[in-house]
Copies of this chain bind each other. A is one copy, B any other.
Amino acid sequence: MASPPVRTRSRLAPDERISEIMAVTRQLLSEKGYQNVVTSEVAERCGISEGTIYKYFDSKRELLARVAEEWFEEILGADENPPPGAGIRTRLRQLVWKGLSIIRQEPSLSRFVLMELRSDPTYRTMRIYELNRRFTARIGDLLQEAVSTGVFRADVSVRLLRDMIFGCIEHRTWAYLRGEGDFSVDEAADGITNVIYRGMLMPGVQDEGASPQSKTKR
């Protein structure tokens, strides 16, 4: 092992320190999952003492929750509006694509939010709950609209459709995470949209046709 790197007592502005701690924690969360993030390792990677973490965060839980929130906000912030006058299919694809790419970009963090935080008794009171809810609601609203306007059949619940979409997104992503095969956001978005749209389209309604991929292509 190398001699310690000068061990100069680093001194940062609070904001920078907070950022650093959160960045390191995000990374760690990404690598190991919530239960396995340990304060001592956060401190070590930051090159600070454990005590310093507690200067800025009341508890490990708070730290993790804030990391998740920040990240979620970051991602959901960048929101394109749907093209005006776009049909159900186009708008559905856009949302599915967004969901896929979110998880694709930060899969372990997704997992943390989706699996760990969501089980927290106070989850419902956290800001991240609201952020999360807002996104799923957009898909739910779109599906509801499709049913209400007679574009979609009414024989499968909106609830189940939402589960199919998010379930597929999550499943696909985790498989990717575990190194199982490749994963194209565009292809997956197309596939999901196609199956759901065609599977739900009311007989007799004109199919919008697949939206040209280029529209949402990154």
Contacts and interface: CB of A to CB of B under 8 A. Distances in A.
Interface stretch (A13-21, A61-69, A70-78, A158-166): A158-166
Contacts of A169: 167
Taking residues whose C-beta sits less than 8 angstroms from the other chain, chain A's interface range is: 35 or more
Interface string A106-132: 000000000100110001000000000
Contacts of A175: 163
Contact of A178 (B35, B118, B181, B187): B118
Given A167-B168, A170-B171, A195-B195, A160 B178 contact: no
A172 B160 contact: yes
- Chain copies in complex: 4
Interface in A50-109: none
A159 B171 contact: no
Interface of A: 33, 35, 115, 118-119, 123, 155-157, 159-161, 163-164, 166-172, 174-175, 178, 181, 187-188, 190-192, 194-200
